[in-house]
Structure 1
Amino acid sequence: MTDTPSSSRLHVLKAVEDGWNAFTKAPWPFILYTLLVGVLSLIFQAIGNAATGGGSNTTLGIGGVILTIVAVVGSWIVSLWGVTGMVRGSWIALDGRKPAFAEFTRWDGAAASRLFVRSIALTILFLVIAIICGLVGFGLAQLNQVLIWIPAVVALILFIYLSVNQKFLPYVALLEQRGPFDTVQRGRDVVDPSWWWVVLLLIVDAVIIIIGALLCGVGLLVAAPVVACITTAAYRQLFGNEDQTGLFNGN
C-alpha cells in the first residue's frame, strides 16, 4: 500500500475494535511476551540499583561503574527488543494470523538500530527546544522574573505537540526507510491533520493502562499488549500497511 494521504482521519473506535480483535487472536503469546520483557526490565533495574547501593552511594567504584553500564545497556536492549517484538506480533495479528511466540522474541539488530537512532534524534530535538527556551527564559528573567513563564509555556506546548505527533515514531522507524530526522518529519506530516484524534487515542490508551494498573498490576499484562495492538491498528489507518524494511520476513 502506498503512503496514506495526510488528509486521512484517524478512526479511534475502529482502531480500538481492530486492536482488541488482534489481541484476542493470540492472548497468551502477547501476555507471556509482556511478562518476559517486564521481568528482564526489572532485572536490569535491580542491577542498576545495586550499582548505586539503592541511591545511598555518592561515588561509584569500578564494580559500580561496570554494573551501571550493564544496567543501562541491558535496559536499552530490552526496550528495543520489546518494542520491535510487540510491533511484529500485533502486526501479524492484525493481518489475521496468530503470531507464534518465536515471532515476538526474534532479535532483529538492524531494526533495533533504526529504532535506537531515531529515538536519539527525537531526544536531541527535545533537548534543543529545552536549551533554546531555557536561554530565552534566562535572558527574559534579567528584565522581569515573570517573563520567564513565556518560554516555559512555549516549551510545554511544543513538547505536548511533538509527543502527540511522534506517537508512531517506533513504527515509522521500524517499517519505513527514512533518515532519523526525516522520520520525525514524517510523523508531523501524517499525524498533524488528525492531531486531536491522536490525542483521543492517547487518552484511550492511558485509560486502558490505568485500569490494568489498578487490577493489582497484573492487569498490565493484558493492558500493555492491547494498547500495542490498538496503536498498531491506528498506525495502519494513517500510514498504510507497507513493510519497506522487511521487518516481518527477517530481511
Structure 2
Amino acid sequence: MFESSPPAPAQLDVFEAVRQGWAAFSRAPWVFVGFSLLLTVVNAIFSGIQRLGTNEEGLPISGPMALVALLGAVAGVIVSLWGSVALVRGSWSALEGGQPSFATFVRWDGAAMIRLFRNGLVLGVLVGLMLLVAAGLAFGVAQLSQLLAVLPLLVALLVLIYVVINQKFLAQVSLLEGLGPISAIQRGRAVVDPQWGQVLLLGLAEFAVMLLGLMACVVGLFVAIPVVACISTAAYRQVFGTTDLTGLMTGSDAGQDAASLV
C-alpha cells in the first residue's frame, strides 16, 4: 500500500518552474548530461539490434531475425522506461536541494517502470481508439463530401492536443502517486483542466528548450533532455505537491504491487 492520498492541487507558475528546473540541473550538470549520454547510447544500441532483423521497409528478414528485431524492440522499451524513471528520480532529488549521483539515476525500480508502462499503455490505447473513430468518421463523411471529411480529423487533432497537455504529468503522477491508469488520467484532468493554458505554456517552454538543444549541433540535446525533465518535475511539484507517496526516492516501492489497476 502507498502512504496517503495526494494533496490538493495548486496553481502553476511557469517562469518559476523554469527557474527551479534550471537551478536543479545546475546542482549536478555533469551527472545529468552523463546519464543522458548513456541513455542515448544504450537506446541506439538496441535500436541497431532491432534494425538488424528488418529490411528497409521495416519487415523481418527471416524468422530468426524477426526474433532479434523483437528482442531489440522490447529492450528499447525497457531502457526508455528505465531512463524516464531515472530522470524523474534525479530531477526530484535535485529539486529537493540534493546533488544526485550517478547511482541515483541507474538504480533499477521494476515496480515504478511497470506503473509507468501500464498507465502510458492505457492512455495510448484510448488515444488510438479516438483516432480510429475519427478516421472512420472522416471516411464515412468523405463519401458525402470531400470538403467535410476534414472536420472529424480537425476535431480529433484538437482533442489530441487537449489530451497531450491534459496528461502532461502522467509520468510523475504514475511514479510518485502510485495511481492506476484510469485514476491517473482522471487525476491529470482534475488538476490540469482549471489551468490548461498555463500547462500549455509550460509545454511550449519545454519545446523551446529542446529546440535550442537541437540547434546546438544536436549535442545540446544531452543538456536539454535533463533540463526539461527538471522543469517538468518542478512544475509537477508546484501543482501536485512535494510528497513522494510511493517511495520512489527511497526504493521502498520496489517490492510492492504496482498500485491499483484502475
Question: 1:168 maps to which residue?
Answer: 169
Question: 2:203 maps to which residue?
Answer: 202
1:121-160 matches, within 5 Å, as 121-160=122-161
Question: Could you tell me whether the CA contact under 8 Å between 1:134 and 1:151 is conserved in 2?
Answer: yes
Question: 1:18 maps to which residue?
Answer: 20
| CA deviation after TM superposition for structure 1 residue 58, in Å | 5.0
| CA deviation after TM superposition for structure 1 residue 143, in Å | 2.0
Q: Which has the higher helix share?
A: 1
**What is the CA–CA distance in structure 1 between the aligned matches of 2:58 and 2:17, rounded to whole Å?**
47
Per-residue Cα deviation, 1:90-127 (whole angstroms, up to 9, x for no partner): 00100001111101000100000000000101101101
TM-score, normalization by structure 2:
0.91
1:1-251 matches, within 5 Å, as 3-6=6-9, 8-53=10-55, 55=56, 59-251=60-252
| CA deviation after TM superposition for structure 1 residue 3, in Å | 4.0
Q: CA RMSD in A?
A: 1.5
**What is the CA–CA distance in structure 2 between the aligned matches of 1:149 and 1:70, rounded to whole Å?**
39
| CA deviation after TM superposition for structure 1 residue 139, in Å | 2.3
Shifted more, 112-121 versus 193-202: the winner is 193-202
**What is the CA–CA distance in structure 1 between the aligned matches of 2:211 and 2:132, rounded to whole Å?**
33
Letter in 2 for 1:148: A
Per-residue Cα deviation, 1:180-223 (whole angstroms, up to 9, x for no partner): 11111111111111111111111111111111111111111111
Letter in 1 for 2:77: W
Q: Give the number of equivalent residue pairs.
A: 249
**What is the CA–CA distance in structure 2 between the aligned matches of 1:168 and 1:244, rounded to whole Å?**
15
Q: 1:66 to 1:197 in 2, by over 3 A?
A: same
**Secondary structure of 2:212 counterpart:** helix
Name structure 1 gaps, 5 residues minimum: none
| CA deviation after TM superposition for structure 1 residue 5, in Å | 3.8
**Secondary structure of 1:143 counterpart:** coil
Letter in 1 for 2:54: T
Q: 1:57 to 1:217 in 2, by over 3 A?
A: closer
Name structure 2 gaps, 5 residues minimum: 253-262
TM-score, normalization by structure 1:
0.95
Letter in 1 for 2:128: L
| CA deviation after TM superposition for structure 1 residue 59, in Å | 4.7
Question: Could you tell me whether the CA contact under 8 Å between 2:51 and 2:58 is conserved in 1?
Answer: no
Q: 1:59 to 1:101 in 2, by over 3 A?
A: closer
Overall identity of the aligned pairs, in %: 45
